[in-house]
Each structure stands twice: as C-alpha cells, then as structure tokens.
Amino acid sequence: MESNKTVITIRNLVKTFPMGNREFTALNGINLSFAKGEFSGLVGPSGSGKTTLLNIIGTLDSPTEGEAIVLGDSVGELSQKKAANLRNMKIGFVFQTFNLLPVYSTFENVEFPLLLQKMSAANRKKSVMDALDWVGLTDKAKSRPAQMSGGECQRVAIARAIVKKPEIVLADEPTANLDAENSHNILKTMEKLNQSLGTTFLFATHDEKVIGYLKRIIKLVDGKVASDEIFAKK
Amino acid sequence: MIRFLLKGLFRDRQRSLLPVIVVVTGVLLTVLMQTMMTGILGDLIDFNAKFSTGHVKVVTKAYAERMDQTPNDLALSKVAQLKEKLQTEFPSMEWVPRIRFGGLIDAPDSIGETRSQGPAIGWGIDFLSAGSKEAERMNIPKSMVSGHLPKKAGEVLLSNQFAEKLKVVPGDQITLFGSTMNGGMTVYNFKVAGTVIFGSGVLDRGAFIADISDVGQALDMPDAASEILGYFKNNRYDKIQAADAVKKFMSAMNTADPYAPVMISLRDQNNLGEMVDYEDLVSVMIISIFVMAMSLVLWNAGLLGGLRRYGEVGVRLAVGESKGHVYRSLIWESILIGSIGSVIGSVIGLLLSLWIGKNGINVSGFMKNASMMMPSVYRTVITSPAFYIGFIPGLFATVIGTALAGIGIYKRNTAQLFKELE
Ligand SMILES: Nc1ncnc2c1ncn2[C@@H]1O[C@H](COP(=O)(O)OP(=O)(O)OP(=O)(O)O)[C@@H](O)[C@H]1O
Ligand SMILES: [Mg+2]
C-alpha cells in the first residue's frame, strides 16, 4: 500500500538567523528525504533546529542555502501566494500550543481551511464532521476552545490539520501540553490516519511517548543530522 | 468566508466593540466641536451685529474715525431723510437709527440727595413706534427679569446688575448726567421700567436702554443719531451683499465732507473680519486636528490590536491563507468598524448638538471679567459639514491606522509571527 514516492527532499540545507551583527546558524548542511506515508520524527536537544526545519518544510520559513523540495516545489522559490496555497491544500500543521482561533467553535476552527479552499457548504459540513469523527469530537462541534480540555483542543487542531486530507502533517511537540493518556490518544489517532490514508507525518519532539510510535527517528544536534534510524516494526 | 470573518469580528469585543467606541468618541467630539465652534462664532458675529455693528452701519466720516468713543458731537443729522434714502436705495435691508452714548446715572433718595451712582453704557433705540423690531432684535423681551418694556416716553431699562448696584427697582426715578451733541451738560430724569440680563459681561455691567426719542431729547439730538444700522431681512450676515451695498453707497458719496455719511460693513468693525473668515477655516482646522489625533490613537490601537492578533494571523497563515488575503481582511474590518463608528458617532454628535443648540451651555461663570461683546450662553449650530465632518477622522483615520499597523504583517516573516505567539 505504501508507495515509495518521495514527498520531501532536503539538500545541503543551511538556515542562519541574524543575531545582532553576527549570524547564528540554526541548520547546518542538512540532507534528508522522506517518502510518502512515513511516520517519522526529529529529536534532539532544545535549540538543535527541529522547529526551524519543520517551519521550512512547511513553507513558513525559507532556506538560507541549499534547498527543500516539498511535493515537487522548492520552498525558497515559491511565491508567498503559492506557498500559502501549498499549505492550504497539502500540508497540515499541529503545534505545541494548540493555536485554535478562540472566537470560533470547534466546527468553525476545523472548517476554516476548507473555507479558504472555497469548498461548498455541504461538502464542508461533511468533511468537518468526518474529521471530528476521526478525533472523536463530534459531540463538541459547537464548543469554543476555552470550554474544552487541552487534549480536546489538540484533537481539534489535528482535525483541522487533516480535514483537507493533506499529503503531509507536520507536528511540532504535539504532546508537550498533554498528559500521558491524552498523548497516547492523539498519537493513536495519528497512527491510524497514517495507516489508512497514507498521510506522511513528521514530528519534532522530546517526548518519549511520541518516540515510541515513530518508525524513523532523526536526531539533530547543533543543526546537523547526528543519526537517522529506521525501525521496521515496533 | 466573509461571514466567517464577520462572526469572528463581532464575537471578539476587543476587535469590534473597543475600536468602535474609540471611533464613536472621536467622531462625536469632532462633530460637537464643529457645531460648537460654528455656533459660538455665529453667535459672536450675530451678537455684535445686533448690539453694535449691524450688518452694515452708516455713520459720519468723522464719527467713524473715533467710533469707540461714541463722539455724538459728530453724529448724523437729518436722520429721517437719510433713513428714507437708505430704505429706497437698499430695500432688501431694514434701517434703524440708534444713539449710543456714555453717561453717569444717579439714583436719588426720597429727598433728592444722591444715594448711589455709576457709569452707564447707553442706547437709544426705537421702542415706541409701531412695528419696530428693535426690542426683539436685541432679545430684550426674553432678557427681562423684572418690570416691563418701556411703553411710554421717559421710561428706561437697566441691566439687572446695574440696577442692583444702584439699588433701584422698577418704578424708581433715576437721573442721567451726560453731554449734549453740542458739548453742553445735560441732566434728564427717567423712570425705571424694568431690568434685563443679557448674558454678556459688558452689557450686564452698565446697560441703560431707552427710547431713541427720549435719548434724543436728553442729549439735545433732534433728528440726529449716532448711527443708522442696516440689517438683512433674513437676519443673516452676507459678507458679499454687505460689501456690494457699501460699494454702491460709497461711490455716490462726497468723501471730502467730514460730516458726510459713510457705510461700513460688519467685517470692518470690532475686528470681526477675522472672525468671519475664521468661520470658514474652522471646519478645516478641526478636521486636521482630529484626523491627526485620531490617526495617532487609532494607529496605536491598531498596532496593539495587531500585536495581539499576531497569533491569530500566524494560525491563519499556517492554515494556508495568503498574507495579502489577511491584510485585505484587516482593511475591510477597519472600513466596517470605521463606518459603523462614524455613523453612530455622527448621530450622537448631531443629537447632542441639537440639544445644546436648543438649550445652550451657560459659561457665564468663566467669563465674569470678559470685556469683549460675547454671549455667555453657547449654542451649537448644525451646518452641512456637521453631517460629514466626523467621517473624515472616523473612517480615514481608522483605515489608515490599520493599514500602517498591518504593514507589520508583511514585514515580519511568517515563522516570526508564530514565535511571537509562543
Ligand atoms: N527567528 C529566529 N531568530 C533568531 N534565532 C532563531 C530564530 N528561530 C530560531 N532561532 C534559533 O535557532 C536555534 C534553533 O531553534 P529551534 O526553534 O529550531 O530549536 P528546537 O530544536 O525546536 O528547540 P526546542 O526543542 O526548544 O523547541 C535556536 O538556538 C534558536 O534560538
Ligand atoms: Mg522547537
């Protein structure tokens, strides 16, 4: 079922940030590629560049040197508008802080990416309810983020990421604000999605619980790949 | 999408209610200030016109040169004839002779000794002839606080404050000491008919108003008057028509004779010209001040709102909205907020102006010592700019403020917006 199509290719990627009058190198010569349907994660100490790499893959940031090719497009060369479109159609984000829009209900938060896609109301409703069904929150469709627990909020964020059936889901410390039970819940949900829809997942994490689910672990140290291990079956 | 954004806007009070309140306040103040200034300047001009300058004034050339001293030795003579001439030549105006004079008022006790005295600013106006509008023009019937209008010869009105100082009440006898047209001394008795409060410092201190024929007799000025005032029949000063009248009158005059009558328009008296011109400038000034102040306030509010919203903007960008789309939606929001705020602010401002226009605000407490001829009850006047003036700061400043604040979204890279929310 899993094809070996490459969805992400990273070549000689360097990312520097200006720091005062010097430059700070956050990523230093990264070479990686990910095939469709991988369930992998970036690990490594704080400040090693995990978030920076995820942001570049997610077209929220661009490389200083080298290239990151995501679904056939080179991130640094995409126009702002094309990058937005790529995010909207094909990439889902899940963040540590759930980043829901507080004034909108669960349903509306999940519906938002579909509104940007100009999907019809009937299709939107069906897709949103399907996504909420995936994360087990159909009964909370009308609740606002403030009325829900952290675990529920993160499930809403996952529903928002997957509602558009993206090719890639990028998850930056998705369990950092959750307890063990909720962490396992959302990880199982993501694993299920990965298996049944073939969605490619890439995590950035410190969390042992998350690491336990990963099939490939890439360790970053000081902006470099220190190790890259694949686990056949857990 | 639009519905989605509107929902967000109205649910988030900090984004809708708060800015609307700021805009409403600014717009309301703008409108009030405009109607207030228009009212005050209009009143000031009107007040001066009615009590002192007319819309145009005819005096002798020599009198004109020392007008503030009311030099009645240089007064107009053959007034009846001159008035008739003016009336036929300028039928669109009403012409009224008045005598202005200074003098000393003495209130005698029962045996004729001086009980109290004080200096008066005197007017001789037409109270007694049928159809005279002079009392109404000077708003005397409404300003009466005791007694009645002069109904027969020998009766006089005093300002209430003056009467209290002299310790006289309606019915009492008072004596005017003055100088005649020929420079002689004159003593003339009047009976106090009533007292008035004008609401203007100068007038309330020492006004003495009697019928012009009585004053003419007292000062030995038969068929003479200090001035003949001309008023447009609609009671509104029209600087162009006034200038035309002056030009027409003056072209036919022999200017070598010091006793020849000359015509002077309102704007060339009491420094009112500046006021008249200022009236046109007021709107421009108020708009500029408020646009600047409100732009600053709203810009800051927009910046703060923008900062507060970096998180939201970050999420929207991450989910796949383009920067342009986000920016445009912020601008549309500000247009909506600005319009709603401007409409509400203008309506409230106009209603308040209407109320103040009707009831007035009494500021006499602040103006006890004013020597200018200023009314002390302020009224707003609603002119057409009042209907749109508020929209300029309300709408433009809001949108400009948001546009400037929103540039931050473009300047920052997307990942950065994200960092700031964590
Ligand atoms: N916009 C920025 N400007 C300057 N330095 C930055 C910026 N973003 C990241 N950095 C720096 O780059 C390095 C890598 O940051 P990054 O957020 O990728 O680390 P991380 O591996 O995700 O760490 P953590 O596990 O704490 O989330 C850090 O030292 C960070 O300070
Ligand atoms: Mg990180």
Mean pLDDT of A83-108: 92
Q: At what angle do helices B323-359 and B398-411 cross, to 10 degrees?
A: 160
For residue A51 and ligand 1, the question of a CB distance below 6 A is answered with: yes
Residue of the nearest CA to atom 30 in ligand 1?
Answer: A47
pLDDT of residue B303: 64
For residue A64, name the pLDDT band (cuts at 50, 70, 90).
very high
Closest to A75 in 3D by CA, of A29, A7, A28: A7
Give the pLDDT confidence of A116-159 residue by residue, as tens digits: 999 999 999 999 999 999 888 999 999 999 999 988 999 999 99
Domain assignment present for residue B190? The answer is yes
Share of chain B above pLDDT 90, in %: 31
pLDDT of residue A179: 87
For residue B416 and ligand 1, the question of a CB distance below 6 A is answered with: yes
Distance B20 CA to ligand 2 centre (A): 39
Q: What angle do CA A77, A80, A82 make, to 5 degrees?
A: 75
A53 CA closest ligand 1 atom index: 18
For residue A97 and ligand 1, the question of a CB distance below 6 A is answered with: no
Residues B320 and B398 in one domain: yes
B205: exposed, middle or buried (Cβ count in 10 Å: 0-12, 13-18, 19+) = middle
* Closest Cα in chain B to A115: B1
Whole-number Å distance between alpha carbons of B406 and B402: 6
Residue B296: count other Cβ atoms within 10 Å of its Cβ: 12
Q: Among B236, B255, B287, identify where a domain stops.
A: B236
Whole-number Å distance between alpha carbons of B326 and B322: 6
The most distant pair of C-alpha atoms in chain A lies apart, rounded to whole Å, by 54
Residues B385 and B341 in one domain: yes
pLDDT of residue B302: 64
Q: How many CB pairs under 8 A join A and B?
A: 78
**Which positions in chain A touch B7 (Cβ < 8 Å)?**
103-104, 108
Asked if residue B121 lies in contact with residue B202, where contact means CB atoms within 8 angstroms, the answer is yes
Interface test with B, best of A86, A95, A125, A173 (most B CBs within 10 A): A95
Distance A233 CA to ligand 1 centre (A): 32
Q: Who has greater pLDDT, B112 or B172? A: B172
> First-to-last CA distance in chain A?
19
Contact between chains at B322 and A84 (C-beta distance less than 8 A): yes
Q: Among B210, B236, B262, identify where a domain stops.
A: B236
Domain assignment present for residue B262? The answer is no
pLDDT of residue B364: 62
Residue B226 has pLDDT above 70, yes or no: yes
A101 in contact with chain B, both atoms CB, cutoff 8 A? yes
Contact between chains at A116 and B318 (C-beta distance less than 8 A): no
A78 in contact with chain B, both atoms CB, cutoff 8 A? no
Residues B16 and B87 in one domain: no
Residues B216 and B294 in one domain: no
Asked if residue B319 lies in contact with residue A88, where contact means CB atoms within 8 angstroms, the answer is yes
Q: Report the residue from A96, A100, A115 with minimal CB separation from B4.
A: A115
Helix ranges (H only) for B320-389 are 323-359, 385-388
Tokens of B44: 């000031």
Contact between chains at A84 and B325 (C-beta distance less than 8 A): yes
Residues B138 and B220 in one domain: yes
Interface test with B, best of A50, A52, A112, A168 (most B CBs within 10 A): A112
Whole-number Å distance between alpha carbons of A37 and B149: 103
Give the pLDDT confidence of B289-305 residue by residue, as tens digits: 876 787 677 667 666 66
Residue B211 has pLDDT above 90, yes or no: yes
Asked if residue A101 lies in contact with residue B4, where contact means CB atoms within 8 angstroms, the answer is no
Q: Who has greater pLDDT, B234 or B158? A: B158
Residues B325 and B410 in one domain: yes
Query: Residue B250: how many CA atoms within 13 Å on its side-chain side?
Result: 15
Can you identify the CATH homologous superfamily of domain A6-230? P-loop containing nucleotide triphosphate hydrolases (3.40.50.300)
Lowest mean pLDDT among B17-21, B127-131, B299-303: B299-303
Residues B39 and B84 in one domain: no
For residue B413, name the pLDDT band (cuts at 50, 70, 90).
low
> How does strand A216-221 pair with strand A224-230?
antiparallel
How many residues in total does chain A contain? 234
Residue type, B216: G
**Which positions in chain B touch A86 (Cβ < 8 Å)?**
320
B416 CA closest ligand 1 atom index: 1
Mean pLDDT of A21-42: 95
Give the pLDDT confidence of B262-286 residue by residue, as tens digits: 899 988 887 777 777 776 677 678 7
Contact between chains at B12 and A103 (C-beta distance less than 8 A): yes
| Average pLDDT for chain B | 84
For residue A127 and ligand 1, the question of a CB distance below 6 A is answered with: no
Q: Who has greater pLDDT, A209 or B201? A: A209
Residues B316 and B411 in one domain: yes
Q: Which domain holds residue B144?
A: 56-236
Q: How many domains does chain B have?
A: 2
Out of B110-119, B305-314, B359-368, the most confident range is: B110-119
Domain assignment present for residue B368? The answer is yes
Report which bound ligand comes closest to the CA of A222.
1
A6 in contact with chain B, both atoms CB, cutoff 8 A? no
Lowest mean pLDDT among A217-226, B38-47, B158-167: B38-47
For residue A49 and ligand 1, the question of a CB distance below 6 A is answered with: yes
Contact between chains at A112 and B319 (C-beta distance less than 8 A): yes
Question: For residue B156, what are the CA distances in angstroms to A227, B120, B209?
Answer: 111, 12, 6
pLDDT of residue B401: 78
Residue of the nearest CA to atom 6 in ligand 1?
Answer: A17
User: Is this model's pTM higher than 0.80 or not?
Assistant: no
Mean pLDDT of B208-230: 92
**Which positions in chain A touch B415 (Cβ < 8 Å)?**
52, 55, 60-61
Q: Report the residue from B8, B324, B422 with minimal CB separation from A101.
A: B8
Domain assignment present for residue B257? The answer is no
Give the pLDDT confidence of B392-406 residue by residue, as tens digits: 878 888 888 788 777
Mean pLDDT of A25-50: 96
Question: For residue B325, what are the CA distances in angstroms to B315, B331, B422?
Answer: 13, 10, 23
Residues B43 and B70 in one domain: no
A16 in contact with chain B, both atoms CB, cutoff 8 A? no
pLDDT of residue B422: 47
Residues B381 and B304 in one domain: yes
pLDDT of residue B369: 46
Residues B63 and B26 in one domain: no
Report which bound ligand comes closest to the CA of B415.
1
* Closest Cα in chain A to B317: A84
Share of chain B above pLDDT 70, in %: 89
pLDDT of residue B306: 63
For residue A17 and ligand 1, the question of a CB distance below 6 A is answered with: yes
Mean pLDDT of A197-204: 95
A79 in contact with chain B, both atoms CB, cutoff 8 A? no
Q: Who has greater pLDDT, A226 or B275? A: A226
Whole-number Å distance between alpha carbons of B127 and B109: 28
Q: Among B236, B266, B285, identify where a domain stops.
A: B236
* Closest Cα in chain B to A105: B8
Residues B71 and B17 in one domain: no
Residue A102 has pLDDT above 60, yes or no: yes
Residues A53-66, buried b or exposed e (16+ Cβ, 10 A)? Answer: bbbbbbbbbbbbeb
Give the pLDDT confidence of A156-183 residue by residue, as tens digits: 999 999 999 999 999 999 998 888 988 9
For residue A47 and ligand 1, the question of a CB distance below 6 A is answered with: yes
